[in-house]
Chain A
Amino acid sequence: MKAPKFASESVTSPSISQPPSALDTFLDRSFRGLTFAFAWLTILLMVYLLWRVGRQAAPAIEKYGLHFLTSTTWDVNKGQFGVLPEIWGTLYSSLLALLLGGLFGVAIAIFLTQDFLPPKLELVFKNIVELLAAIPSVVYGLWGLFVLIPAIRPIATWLHDYLGWLPFFGTSLSGPGLLPAALVLTIMILPTVSAISRDALSAVSPRIREAAFGMGATRWEVILRVLLPTASTGIFGALVLGFGRALGETMALAMLVGNSNQLSISLFSPANTLAALLALNFPEANKTQEGVLMYAAIVLMAITLLVNICGAAVLRRATANVTGRR
């Protein structure tokens, strides 16, 4: 028993190390309890949400079943509902945004952490990118409509004229459509992806970096083969968050995606997304429609969950390959 000895010593010479008092123990315990409670509360909230949405969706789920996921008609008057085009549009636009936004976002993060710029300029750039997150969704929608679409129209027309045999360019761009929507989504998720990737990259211990340089690696070898894999969990988190934002983005998409119930692989065709469908139809929905829309909301939640699970699995495999850990 060493502690009593130290305690008795502290009477004569005051020391900073003391046995925890009853208050300390109490605070520790209650803090632990509190965090525990909050963690559970988050899960409970999620369950409650699902239960409420599920209860309202139940009649629609019973009535339309899985056919809801595979049919393409949305006819309120005839009572036929299907969300396949919306599922397709949601995934297509979000994946495209993730691809572009992820690429640019991570590139920006590397650019802003690896001493490419003087520190002051780095700060300016970082703030500019993060400022993008503060712009309201409606403004993005209007910007897309009045600036982006006219700007990409000539390019889209050229692509359709000369590369129209590719299914991606199979139709001509009339105005709102999948590509403008995906491009605006890209810009919207950029701050999320770049800010979190940046944090992940700066969290990599400088010693690892120096060690890699010490072994004679070039700058790009260090960045691509040491830093990125080490920070991959954080970067993956950034991508998942960005993807989540893209899946759930509503107002800008409602204005830009064209809201047309069709399945098309062409980037220039109008499409529809689940979030836009919900936002546009909810205000005037009657009882049956409300149930159907709640069903669509559950589908959206399920997609988000599935995507996260798949992403986690992919990441585990990827990191296992890089680090040799299992």
Chain B
Amino acid sequence: MRRRHTGSMLLLVMLCSLCLAASDAVADMVKLKGSGASFPFPLYGRWFKDYGKVNKQVQVDYQAKGSGAGIKDFVNKTVDFAASDAAMTDEEIASVDVGVQLLPMTAGEIVLAYNLPNGPKDLKLSREAYSKMFLGQITKWNDPVIAKANPGATLPDTAITVVRRADSSGTTFVFTQHLSAVSEAWKSGPGSGTTVNWPSTDKMVASPKNDGVAATIKQTPGAIGYIEYGFAKIAKLPMAWLENKAGKFVEPSLASGQAALASVTFPADFRAWLPDPDSDAAYPIVSYTWMLFYKKYSDPKMAEALRDVVKYCLTEGQKVSDEMGYIPLPSQVVEVVAKAANNIQ
């Protein structure tokens, strides 16, 4: 009886010391909580995981809720940082009293992925063709407007099913901004925004999130939809060559994306859009995506950790961008962004 008692005492002491040791480790560890855009999530997830391997003292949790939700969390200060494809509006920036530092972290292409059995693999779409498709004015794949840009290709008499995002999204924002720049009818009709009033026809369906749209395209013969390049690549969907401002048909790729980004000069707050890049080799629908930080953190350790994470993403992180389907930032941009990261205090 007595012996068992000492045994349990010993166990208790061991447990206590274990707890103490654990809390010691927790005290040293910095936990960073972020939320926001789902468009760069595959890449961010990889970055934070790799960073955690190198630097065991910092743990980054990122929740891909969507750009709008991320901004909401950021303004309400329930997260330590956020991410958004649509940057932030002036109004939103003004509502954060400690100041906001926007940093572009990567860029992505939005592609028109399609599913056309017995159709060409490198379909070319003129600006007229794809804007009218999304307006619901071109309804068959063998429409003369599409055929004109694809001489020699056999286009089936299949109905076009347009797949769009059902939830509010930064991807939609970038895509509709581009359509507004390209088509007058689009600008005066649905316009641009994270959700717009899409033309309602029978052949326009909506799915949640990038992967939902990709899955729906894959399952629907005759479908076309806009998704982030990486998602189309994962789903092995063919992507259309799009006509750019210079009138050239460009394949979505790393090189054409970088050509588009080269034309951007950043203002001081890093909010730059390129709804319609004009270089010859540029892919037309490209966008930066941002991380949002406060300028002043109450915990200097946290600010330091965040700066370190940003530094990692800008150096090591950029090296994996390409294989994940994103466009690495041009080196001169990395330089400016790295400098601006020092504003996180």
Binding site for B on A (CB under 8 A): 72-78, 80, 142, 145-146, 149-150, 171-172, 174-177, 254-255, 258-262, 264, 266, 269-270, 276, 280-281, 283-286
Contacts and interface: CB of A to CB of B under 8 A. Distances in A.
11 contacts: A76-B193, A176-B220, A260-B198, A260-B202, A262-B201, A270-B202, A270-B204, A281-B195, A283-B69, A283-B167, A284-B68
Contacts of B216: 145, 175-176
User: Chain B contact residues (Cβ within 8 angstroms of A): what range?
Assistant: 35 or more
A128 B222 CA distance: 37
A78 B65 CA distance: 25
Nearest to B217: A175
Given A174-B223, A284-B69, A145 B205 contact: no
B188 to A, nearest CB: 12
Given A260-B206, A280-B167, A255 B66 contact: no
B159 interface: yes
A142 B211 CA distance: 11
B138 to A, nearest CB: 15
Given A150-B219, A175-B219, A280-B166, A73 B197 contact: yes
B222 A174 contact: yes
Contacts of B167: 280-281, 283-284
A77 B197 contact: yes
Contacts of A78: 197
Contact of A77 (B191, B200, B202, B204): B191
B196 interface: yes
A175 B159 contact: no
Contact of A176 (B65, B68, B198, B207): B207
Nearest to B193: A77
B194 interface: yes
Nearest to A76: B195
A175 B208 contact: no
Interface string B183-197: 000000001011111
Nearest to A174: B161
A261 B202 contact: no
B207 A174 contact: no
Given A281-B167, A285-B168, 8 more contacts: A149-B219, A174-B159, A175-B161, A176-B205, A258-B205, A259-B207, A283-B69, A284-B169
Nearest to B170: A284
Chain B's interface: helix, strand, loop or mixed, by majority? loop
B68 A260 contact: no
Closest 9 CB pairs of A and B: A284-B68, A175-B220, A75-B197, A259-B206, A174-B161, A284-B168, A258-B205, A259-B166, A262-B200
Contacts of A266: 202
B110 to A, nearest CB: 18
B212 interface: yes
A74 B197 contact: yes
Contacts of A264: 202
B202 A283 contact: no
Contacts of B220: 149, 174-176
B203 interface: yes
Given A172-B159, A261-B200, A254 B222 contact: no
B177 interface: no
B203 A255 contact: no
B72 interface: yes
A254 B165 CA distance: 11
Contacts of B159: 172, 174
Contacts of B202: 171, 174, 260, 262, 264, 266, 269-270
Given A174-B205, A270-B205, A260 B200 contact: yes
Most A-side CB within 10 Å, residue of B169, B196, B207: B207
Nearest to A149: B219
Given A77-B196, A254-B166, A281-B167, A174 B203 contact: yes
B219 A281 contact: no
B171 interface: no
Contact of A284 (B66, B203, B204): B66
A145 B213 CA distance: 11
A109 to B, nearest CB: 34
A283 B65 CA distance: 7
Contacts of B65: 283
Nearest to A80: B197
Contacts of B169: 284
A145 B215 contact: yes
A99 B155 CA distance: 41
Contacts of A255: 207-208, 212
A177 B212 CA distance: 14
Nearest to B71: A284
B101 interface: no
A146 B195 CA distance: 26
A24 to B, nearest CB: 42
A151 to B, nearest CB: 11
A283 B66 contact: yes
B67 interface: yes
A145 B203 CA distance: 17
A280 B209 CA distance: 9
Most A-side CB within 10 Å, residue of B159, B169, B206, B208: B206
Given A174-B159, A284-B167, A284-B168, A259 B205 contact: yes
A58 B66 CA distance: 27
A284 B72 CA distance: 8
A56 to B, nearest CB: 15
Contacts of A262: 200-202
A259 B203 CA distance: 12
Contacts of B207: 176, 255, 259
A191 B204 CA distance: 33
Contacts of B200: 72, 260-262
Contacts of B168: 76, 281, 283-285
A80 B195 CA distance: 13
B189 to A, nearest CB: 11
